[in-house]
Amino acid sequence: MTYNHPKILVAIDCLVFGYDTTENNLKVLLFQREVEPFAGEWSLIGGFVNEDEDLSDGAERVLEKFTGLKDVFLEQLSTFGKANRDPGGRVVSILYWSLIKLDDLHRDIANEHGAKWFDLDQLPELVVDHSEMLKLGTEQLVHNAKSRPIGFELLPEDFTLPQLKQLYDAIYGKSIDDRNFRKKILSTDLLIKTDKKDKTTSKKGAFVYRFDTEKYNELRKQGYHLDLNV
């Protein structure tokens, strides 16, 4: 070790949004802390960074522990580092956020770890500065929904346009005009229409679409930047 300076505990907190396609609402994964201070209180999922571990690997480890998921949308958001933010000691915490397709499996795995999915409008009090983290993440979600195709991280691979619209409605907290939404989303030319119909929510049935990930990645390499402007 070359440097001679005070060392600090480094933690990762991970804000996980899951979308429940059947209920049509956005949820957040929280867990009950097991250690003092604040044992038993609700917090974002998190953990300490190991000495030989990349931050991004630590975030993946935390996420996989509580959801069983790998290779999903997971990005760094911001770092929280007030000297006295945690009464248990000096901890600098790096906030990540993740978007997942919520299904029963993830509910079960969450359960095993004392974690639970909460509706955004029925959140409990959160420890330390986690409410601030949640606020930041929610803003990020709204902001990103306009500029990147993050909606498809939250929906199953096969989805219908009414489903996609409901997701955007949930994110923005208001109802978008149906015709304009279709026009905009289809004009990106990044949706693949299949000939299947999903009849679970109507007699007529809604066509099933898929997001064209390859095409999007190809375009992105060429500097393309999606702007949904919904």
Partner DNA sequence: ACAAAAGTGTTGACCGTACACCCATGT
Partner DNA sequence: ACATGGGTGTACGGTCAACACTTTTGT
- Give the residues lining the site for its own copies (CB under 8 A): 1-3, 5-10, 35-37, 48-57, 76, 78-83, 88-92, 94
Q: Does 225 engage in binding with DNA (CB under 7 A)?
A: no
Could you say which residues in the range 136-165 bind DNA, by CB under 7 A? 160-162
- Sequence-distant (6+) residues with CB within 8 A of 169 are 175, 176
- Per partner kind, with CB cut-offs from 5 to 8 A, the member of its own copies, DNA, none near residue 10 is its own copies
> Closest distance between DNA and the C-beta of residue 211, in Å?
16
> Closest distance between DNA and the C-beta of residue 227, in Å?
7
> Closest distance between its own copies and the C-beta of residue 91, in Å?
7
- Per partner kind, with CB cut-offs from 5 to 8 A, the member of its own copies, DNA, none near residue 37 is its own copies
- Number of shown-chain residues binding DNA (CB under 7 A): 19
- Per partner kind, with CB cut-offs from 5 to 8 A, the member of DNA, its own copies, none near residue 183 is DNA
x-or-dash string of contact with DNA, 164-193, rule CB under 7 A: -------------xxxx-xxx---------
- Sequence-distant (6+) residues with CB within 8 A of 9 are 48, 89, 90, 91, 92
d(Cα 26, Cα 15) in Å, to the nearest integer?
13
d(Cα 196, Cα 178) in Å, to the nearest integer?
21
Instruction: Match 């290779």 to its residue by tokens.
Output: 71
C-beta of 5 vs 204, nearer to DNA: 204
- Three-class SS string for 38-97? CCCCEEEEEEECCCCCCHHHHHHHHHHHHHCCCCCEEEEEEEECCCCCCCCCCEEEEEEE
d(Cα 57, Cα 196) in Å, to the nearest integer?
39
- Per partner kind, with CB cut-offs from 5 to 8 A, the member of DNA, its own copies, none near residue 76 is its own copies
DSSP state of 121: T
